[in-house]
Amino acid sequence: MLVRAARRKAQSTPIRPLSLEQSYLPSLWSTHNRAALDRRRFITGDAGQQRPDIRIRRNSNDASNTPPRRSMATAMSHIPMDDIPFERFGAPGFNSRGNPLVQIDHDPIAMHNGTHVFASLTTSAQKVRNSADGVHGEIPEVLSVFHACLQVGRVERAGVILKRVLDSANASEEDVISLHTQYLRASAEQIILNPSQSGKDAIHRWFELEILKKGLPFNAEMMAYMLKASLQARDEKIGGNQKRLVKRYMSMVEGEAGLEVLGTGLLSGEELNRINHICPAYNLAGGFEISFDQKIEESQETTSKGRFKKTKLPGVKPTQQKGLGLKSLRKSLSIFSSLPAHGLSMADMNIEERREIQKQLEDDAVTSALERWREESVNLKKMGLDSSLQTKSLGARMWKWQQHMEQDLREEIARVEAAEKLDVGRRTPEDLERLIYGPFLRILPANKLSAVTILTVMAAFGSQGSDKGLYLGNTILSIAGAVEDESILEAVNETNRRAVWSKNSKDRIQIDNLKKLMKTRGPGSGARLMKAMKKSNYQSSAQHSKGEQSVVGNTPYITSGWPTSTKAKLGAFLMSSLIKVAKVPVTLQHSETQQMMTQLQPAISHSFSYRMGKKYGVVVANKALAEAMRREPVHSLLAKHLPMVVQPDKWTLFNKGGFIVHPSKLIRVKSGNTDQKYYAEAALGQGDLTDICKGLDVLGQTEWKINKGVFDVMLEAWNTGEAIGNIAPESPKLEVPREPDSSRDPLERRRWIRAVKTVENLRTGLHSQRCFQNFQLEIARALRDETFYFPHNMDFRGRAYPIPPYLNHMGADHCRGLLKFGVGKELGPNGLKWLKIQLANVFGFDKASLKEREQFADDNLSSIYDSATNALNGSRWWLEAEDPWQCLAACIELRNALESPDPSRFISHLPVHQDGTCNGLQHYAALGGDRWGAKQVNLEPGDRPADVYSAVADLVKESIKKDLAKNDPCAVHLDGKITRKTVKQTVMTNVYGVTFVGAKEQVKKQLVAAQVPLSGNMTYASLAAYIATKIFDALANMFRGAHDIQYWFGECANRITTCLTPEQISRLEAEFDKPVVKEPRQRAAASHRMEMATQFRSTVIWTTPLNMPVVQPYRQLKSKAVITTMQKISLSEPNRHLPVSKRKQLQGFPPNFVHSLDATHMLLSALKCDEQGLNFAAVHDSFWTHAADIEKMNLVLRDSFIKIHSEDVIGRLAAEFEARYRGCMYLAHVKKSSPAGKEILKWRRMNKKIRGHEVTVGDETNKLHKHHELVLERKRQRLLSSLNPDDVEEGKKIITPTAIFSQLSPAETDLVDDPDLKNLAIGEIPKRDRSSASAQEVESRDHSTEEGISASTLDVGSEAQELIADDDAEVAPESHENEISVFERSLKPQEDKRVADKVPVWLPLTFPAVPKKGDFDVSRLKDSQYFFS
């Protein structure tokens, strides 16, 4: 007996990650401790009881007794590929078995793990020429129009576009099937909602002509859509062909294939029954109920009966500022002030009630914007203020804009429809543009589209300042992104509302969850979230195993993000429409009659501005609109950036954790930096980031409170308007220099203008600082009686940061002084001592021994009591501290402890800090084993704390004394003037990659601040260069091992960023072996593919000790000009497929690696402290806990550091590089005068003819040498690795430049060092800078010239395009450019000695030997009490 509607969506077997040795693929996120996994990727499989029990009826006469003719392909053999898309090079298709029915997996994880042979059309650079349908441009742009047509039901036009794309593009089989599937789905839905015979015939015609006739395979999803469409045909009883169609399609998928079609979840129970009646070969067995949405039980509201009284707290004096931020913030915070008025207290609420408050804080009020505007307009109409000139309310004004814009959009849609009907020859350029953005205007109702546009623009004005101009490019992309998000919600909502798909269908999405996820991700996040749903096959399985509900529903709704150029065109039209209709009343005085008159003026205008010599389009608000926006906030902008009132959700997925309604991202990824996201998600799927997530959870669960004693003093100080501590003054007293007479020297006037600008910049900076502090005090005032939490996430290096940006413990001194732990702890026997040490540390007395610091507090007890009791009206001793507000907090806590009956029983909430000694140098000293350096950064035990800054200053002084004996003018001038402060900033930043030019500027600032007197022709610039040289030399001697490691880092990064992966070489090989084409268009396309195949795209990737993959994001950005209805816009869109920026990769690797180590140390310490029950907070290399637990935390800090550096960190990194980049080839350079260089040049002269071209010196086709040599070397390596002896012998006979180099220079002694490596290591100074810093060169130099020269030496460009040097050229003699002045050198044409003196050659990617480590034993750290103090 048949059971109706009894089935559930079949769960696919989760995708198994590939285990590849070459971990430059995103699928290999960690190269150690990884078991070998199956190389086959299973697409579907037996899901056990999750699958509906559908079986073939064996006793049916209609059942086939023969074996199935066609079966579902359930697995694909592994095909090695890379993560770089290229055009198709004639590789075989996916369906190697010839099965017409295939299951194509569109999972983006698989795509990003490099399991797709072909480039995805969504990122293809191919173009569609202008055609009869009017759609043209790059493939992603045309496909976005195709998807828009499908979404709005314009299926016929979508079909025309799809044919055009498939005829023009070189698409992979998978992309073709995917596009056909989407077209069939939309067609089936259309004939169900709007039945028509033409539509029914069209879908069957399409399947016959475009799929079956062209021999394309089809999948279960496509067949389900065809069955769904067939059931819409008329029954045979009334002249239809319904049964014939169903039987025909079911006959194509007999056996197991038919079972999979029926188990897709796309067919309702009624449709399954009808199919079974027509084709009784399948029996739908019982056992499953229809899934109904679970009802959400509303929790009963409880009202606390307890009321409390408190004195009225003074308000925070507002600072006049641009935009609506302050008013919006106060509106968001009003919930805290409204609770007591209703007799409620957060302290009396349970967890669920507090979570509801948190949700209310995170929710935004924008969804009710239209209703609010309409209500304001109605209220004004009741008051008799309906005239356009009388309207005062901004909300009512926006309602009128919305009405007018809605009408304008309807008129434009009519013009779009007219353009679509025009013949090709009669279309104007405006008509062609309408064909591109027109379909997107139909996606949303006109009223909603206009409201989204208005809200986006007004929000931009509100957040950036209404009297400031908005950059047009950013604004129109924000508008289009918001429209895209709203369109996705509209499509999902509409799909769920329609009775087309079953409730278990993959086309149904949980709309509420999707809305929550989209709210905080910024404009344009909707498409990314929808794509993220593709990954739910492994994520949801993990969730369901824990009994949790999947955020994204059952299966994904397939969609595609809109291309940037399409967004620009759509956003520009909507912006121009708003500019056209938006008017504001402006009252002016008539110039002749002097009467006041009111007229309507454009509320927004389009203009241009110049910045750094470039012309930018801007959108400017009318002054009347700006004034209105100051009076009325548009909506809450800042609620989602507040601290949380409940513990943050634990991190479980890349975008699930932290905030409740608006979860942020686990890793802060910049736009376009998708590599880090893919690696992190893959690591999450493997469980490698478990400890990372737990560490962030530990940081987020720390409870905080406002320190009321400090806040009351700060509020009083703020309201005075004075500069107290680091509080910016309300009215700074800055003197503007008097203007010189016009008859004076023109240079004098120029200096006056510069001085005036300096004063104004200082005034603006102080005002901005006070505005920001105003935000922080408002938040602190609202949270004064509450406990709260800071959810944390991290950057791409693993460094943790609190997500709320305004008030957190990583803020300035006043923020840290305002915060204390929410949970207190008794001081115990040693806590009072650490409170005193904390006070000495924040006062600035932190270089003394611990006993001396403790004694410092005892010696100043009277000042401490005075500060705590009478902070503003007493002696103000606390303001003399380095960190005055933290000092005041320590004074208050210490006074309270001393006044308690038993200080050891005093419950302290004050965080006590333990700071590292130049933490970056600590890691470098441990890595290099530098005994002397380790002693200077307190890795060695000692009776007193060592100070690396003082040590460097002493070395600089000693060097100056030696120069003084030689009567050096700089030494004579600086004798006795070098202090610790002079060198501190340069020492601190040297480890993080500061350049010599930057170091000179740092020292120069210190000399100017110290007012070092000048004499003769001596300048601050020349003195700064002299001192910076001494600092660099001191560091190089002190940290010799670290110096070598940094140079090794640079050499590794240099090779990685100039290498090609095996997959790239294979693509080049396939393209290179093709016959040379003569047709210009095909030749250009072939050249482009070859060019793409040889771009350097490999970025530096490593794994931290906590298994976090770190991917450096630095790539070359390319701009693209897009012509819109408003202006021509240049857009730079980051893309993971762009070439890497070699210079940034080299300069960023050493500091980023050290940052990843200190982040590991912090998270390891957080986990261990949590295990021992310690409260823990951190600011990178400053760790906080209760005073009673400091000694326990110090032991944890030392153990964690020892645990990291007891392993061979650099050796493990080298092994990871060898595994990750195995099989790559990099472009090295050989000395031209070396035996290997000469022999390579000789070989090239004998092999000039390549692919029919005679390669001559200086010829542009010279780059064919590199392509040809690479392909030839690949062939040689393949033959040498063969098991066939004949192949090996043939390989030995092949001569290549690589083979020549390996034979003549096996130790790589003839390689030329890259110039970019010269200034990477600690204390390394480029030769040019060292020469310019000599004592004899004391002439004043312009800093911009120095910086320009430095920049020119770093801008090396892409070496893949470097031409081979003249084979017969002489080796250039050494340059004597250092003998001329800097100015003369800047004017002299720069010769490219890279080309003249060296020969490029492809070599297998190997890495230099790891530098020898020093003899420092890191375990000695165990006894160092000043490691962190």
Between 836 and 965, where is the model more confident? 836
Does 1368 qualify as catalytic in the annotation?
no
Distance from CA of residue 324 to its chain's centroid?
27
d(CA 1108, CA 286): 47
Query: Helix (H, G, I), strand (E, B), or coil: what is residue 104?
Result: coil
Under 8 Å between Cβ of 1268 and 1072: yes
pTM of the model: 0.67
d(CA 1397, CA 1230): 9
Say which residues have a Cβ less than 8 Å from residue 508's Cβ, sequence separation at least 6.
495, 496, 501, 502, 553, 554
Task: Report the chain's mean pLDDT, rounded to a whole number.
Answer: 74
Per residue in 625-682, pLDDT tens? 877 766 554 443 344 578 888 899 999 888 888 888 766 789 988 766 778 888 998 9
Query: Helix (H, G, I), strand (E, B), or coil: what is residue 665?
Result: coil
In this prediction, residue 727 has a pLDDT band, given cuts at 50, 70 and 90, of: very high
In this prediction, residue 529 has a pLDDT band, given cuts at 50, 70 and 90, of: low
Distance from CA of residue 128 to its chain's centroid?
31
Q: What is the mean pLDDT of residues 1383-1402?
A: 60
Q: Where are the beta strands (DSSP E) in 77-136?
A: 127-128
Q: What is the mean pLDDT of residues 507-525?
A: 49
Per residue in 1288-1330, pLDDT tens? 999 999 999 999 998 888 878 888 887 767 656 565 665 555 5
Among 167, 162, 169, 129, CA closest to 147: 162
**pLDDT (0 to 100) of residue 1135:** 63
Active-site residue, from 984, 1004, 1168, 1266: 984
From the CA atom positions of the chain, what is the Rg in Å? 35
Does 1181 qualify as catalytic in the annotation?
yes
In this structure, of 116-120, 396-400, 979-983, the range with the lowest mean pLDDT score is 116-120
**pLDDT (0 to 100) of residue 1410:** 92
CA distances in angstroms from 1237 to 1256, 1305, 1311, 1359, listed in the order given:
18, 10, 9, 18
d(CA 495, CA 482): 20
Per residue in 1043-1101, pLDDT tens? 888 889 989 999 999 999 998 898 888 887 777 666 777 777 777 777 777 788 889 99
d(CA 395, CA 374): 8
d(CA 779, CA 806): 8
Active-site residue, from 107, 1181, 1314, 1316: 1181
Say which residues have a Cβ less than 8 Å from residue 924's Cβ, sequence separation at least 6.
930, 933, 991, 1039, 1041, 1042, 1045, 1046, 1154, 1322
DSSP class of residue 871? Answer: T
Does 915 qualify as catalytic in the annotation?
yes
d(CA 573, CA 453): 10
Under 8 Å between Cβ of 1030 and 959: yes
Whether 517 has a pLDDT exceeding 70, the answer reads: no
Q: What is the mean pLDDT of residues 439-455?
A: 85
Under 8 Å between Cβ of 909 and 787: no
d(CA 1343, CA 1320): 21
Helices 139-151, 173-193: axis angle to 10 degrees equals 20
List, in sequence order, every residue forming a beta bridge with 609; answer none if it has no partner.
Answer: 616
Whether 374 has a pLDDT exceeding 70, the answer reads: no
Q: What is the mean pLDDT of residues 822-845?
A: 94
Active-site residue, from 364, 431, 649, 915: 915
d(CA 168, CA 658): 46
In this prediction, residue 723 has a pLDDT band, given cuts at 50, 70 and 90, of: very high
Pairing mode, strands 1128-1132 and 1177-1179: unpaired
Tell me the residue type at 1017: N
Helix (H) or strand (E) holding 1273: helix 1263-1280
DSSP class of residue 101? Answer: B
d(CA 1149, CA 1138): 19
Residue 68 CA neighbour count, 13 Å, CB half: 19
CA distances in angstroms from 898 to 836, 907, 1275, listed in the order given:
11, 12, 81
Among 1014, 1011, 961, 1005, CA closest to 983: 1005
Token pair belonging to 1399: 């020969």
Query: Helix (H, G, I), strand (E, B), or coil: what is residue 1170?
Result: helix
Tell me the residue type at 1068: L
**pLDDT (0 to 100) of residue 526:** 54
Whether 169 has a pLDDT exceeding 80, the answer reads: no
In this prediction, residue 598 has a pLDDT band, given cuts at 50, 70 and 90, of: confident
Per residue in 1256-1275, pLDDT tens? 443 434 566 678 888 889 99
End-to-end CA distance of the chain: 79
Between 1005 and 72, where is the model more confident? 1005
Q: What is the mean pLDDT of residues 1101-1121?
A: 87
Per residue in 478-503, pLDDT tens? 888 888 877 777 776 666 655 565 55
Instruction: Determine what percent of the chain is predicted with pLDDT higher than 70.
Output: 69
Between 1191 and 393, where is the model more confident? 1191
Question: Residue 299: is it exposed, middle or buried by C-beta count within 10 angstroms (0-12/13-18/19+)?
Answer: exposed
Q: What is the 3-state secondary structure (H, E, C) of 428-471?
A: CHHHHHHHHHHHHHCCCCHHHHHHHHHHHHHHHHHHHCCCCCEE
**pLDDT (0 to 100) of residue 621:** 85
**pLDDT (0 to 100) of residue 1214:** 95
Between 1264 and 1382, where is the model more confident? 1264
